[in-house]
Chains A and B, each alone.
Chain A
């Protein structure tokens, strides 16, 4: 395999792995903050126990997010040095701002939250988890702004003297339409996952506690888990609604700025719609092996036009026609200064195929949507099961359903990102820099392969540890909690220590 292919695999593996921990961190930090706020307001013991319980699960997850995240920041320079040099003037700033505004905030205040139970006044301690949570959101702002530049490079110009993209308008970078629709989609998808997490763990315990005779302590546990299960389910439903709406907006922006990705998402080979006809939305399309042609398909007329443009009769360009248009040098966005300015240089570079690999783009798009819908459906069903004081029946079916409540949105996130990034190909910066031109010329394929194998081994081993701990602590359930006391004497035992 070439260095480009290997570097892409390495980025894919490390990023997808990292992103198992990101949505849980983003959502759980705030869900735990809400639980602690409930405790602060009501003084009810169950909210404190829930805070401690889910807080611990959140931290097991957070540790992995931190260590796998460092790899991401270094990887741009290590594997993609020409990319880093070429777009650093625009792309570097959000990364630096992410570290300065977001990472400091979340790491420092999480440290204060974990160890500060007996050292800070209640109100200040509550503020620390909210600030850490704010840090995770800020982090998403900057990294999504950076990623959106790769999908739709606006706010930049090409400088032939330095042969690189240079910042022209920072506000335009931060108000990129791709960013504006991606941010709510990514954040709400994170909350869909976090809601699924809380529901899954709480729902599993509720079924376990659904028995004729319960001790007083068990009744207290049921009261806590009922609240958290319903809370998780409501988070799923609200987040799910935002996922759907923002996803619809994303489709329309994608049609505008990345028509090829839209066509590949639908395996639409020939242009459809326009002239009073309707473009068909593919329910299922089987293509030939290289993904250049359709073999069998079930389609619904009009839906694709609605998705892309809000008009069932809209004309949706197909992959083959877009490919032709790109190879003729057309189709770059005429309002995009960077694409226009770089077009001449691009002709000297050359591109093998102007379309992404269709089967991956097509199926990940469907996997994302299907898993998202499954997650939302489970949330709604769980609310129905829990209505009016009812408890779920324990059994394999309920356990599997609860596991799916977490795993469906979690993997839905992964597929969404694989779709977004594979669908961007063959570009690393859409319409400007081909991925193949972006790798580090000084790094050998062997080096990339060796480190990729080692990353995979370490990540695999850590996954075993992380999942093991997660299951152990999720099963252990709510701690028997007493409110923390402020330490007075020098030799008093700390209420929290590693």
Chain B
């Protein structure tokens, strides 16, 4: 056995927390635009209504997606072993995620570029299905991080870990439930965002849908989190977080029924935050891996970069994360106004 430190350094702890923050930012922010995109074909009955829905996330989705890219990049930089084993281990699921991200990413821009009903319907469904696939696969993936992905050293290597579980093992009942629950949670979160950002008929439909999907989110979320606590829990703190998540979902459901869209959105945001905290506490210290069959554990110490790299990265993060947060918040503020079908110009091709 190699003389590796077992106790994590401060910087390793800091970077684990920062990566958790980046994933949380991604789940909160892309969560609503996945939800909104999934709702385009269902809540938009007319072309103008669908355009209202698309335009609520139009200026924001790309910036939201960078949270995912930054989470991936930060994992690569701070814990190369984590990045290498996770991304190669979840090869096909990640391909599905990339596929979903590609078809949804082009659809926002391209649907507007040709005023033809079939063309637009096709891109609406690409946005919807792409967002659905990405949400579902991330739900399955995070459930597997909770369970722990079994890893072992690659043949002939003393340092590189490979995932040994196989593709179908990723789809355990708990993981499948995780996929469905994340889809439902994003639908609820997205409906709340849509209600908050619209007026008129789309607004009414979003609220009505939120009241329904909210109940499903409460029930599904409860089953999932109780299961997680019983099977993979970490004591009282886990139950406290679960209670908070439940309170968030119930508060959001009550708020949307009372027409308080802002509070409903804040409450689903808080719920996603709390669930992410639960998951990342569970992922400490093994980063979501199961090391039972591994001669060398893959964890926050063995996967980590050197202190020099972590120091450099910390410097960059301290300076730039607040700046990014500031201008993204400003961007959300610029586009704060509710929109309705009255705001949508008649023919998109004639303008800009």
Contacts and interface: CB of A to CB of B under 8 A. Distances in A.
Interface of A: 52, 55-56, 59-60, 62-64, 66-68, 70-71, 73-74, 76-79, 81-82, 84-85, 87-93, 95-101, 103-105, 107-112, 114-117, 119-120, 161-164, 166-168, 170, 440-443, 447, 451, 454, 458, 462, 465, 469, 472-473, 479, 490-498
Contacts, number: 279
A76 B99 CA distance: 17
B84 A84 contact: yes
Contact of A115 (B58, B85, B155, B163): B58
A96 B327 contact: no
Contacts of A451: 91-92, 95
Contacts of B86: 77
Nearest to A493: B345
Contact of A498 (B95, B99, B102, B348): B348
Interface in B1-19: 2-4
B348 A497 contact: yes
Given A85-B85, A458-B102, 7 more contacts: A78-B88, A81-B84, A85-B81, A96-B70, A114-B59, A166-B309, A442-B154
Given A442-B163, A469-B110, A100 B94 contact: no
Given A78-B87, A469-B113, A494-B339, A111 B63 contact: yes
Which one of B4, B113, B163, B320 has the highest number of Cβ atoms from chain A below 10 Å of its Cβ? B113
Interface of A is mostly: helix
Contacts of A107: 62-63, 65-66
A73 B84 contact: no
26 contacts: A60-B113, A70-B101, A73-B72, A77-B83, A81-B162, A88-B76, A88-B80, A92-B305, A96-B78, A100-B70, A104-B327, A114-B59, A114-B352, A120-B334, A166-B306, A167-B308, A168-B308, A440-B91, A441-B157, A442-B154, A443-B88, A469-B113, A479-B352, A496-B351, A496-B352, A498-B108
Contacts of A73: 69, 72-73, 76
Interface in B327-352: 327-328, 331, 334-335, 337, 339-340, 342-345, 348, 350-352
Sorting the interface of chain B by its residue count into under 10, 10 to 19, 20 to 34 or 35 or more gives 35 or more
B contact face: mostly helix, strand, loop, or mixed: helix
A465 B106 contact: yes
Contact of A59 (B2, B109, B339): B109
A491 B337 CA distance: 11
A95 B337 CA distance: 35
Nearest to B308: A167
B336 to A, nearest CB: 10
B241 interface: no
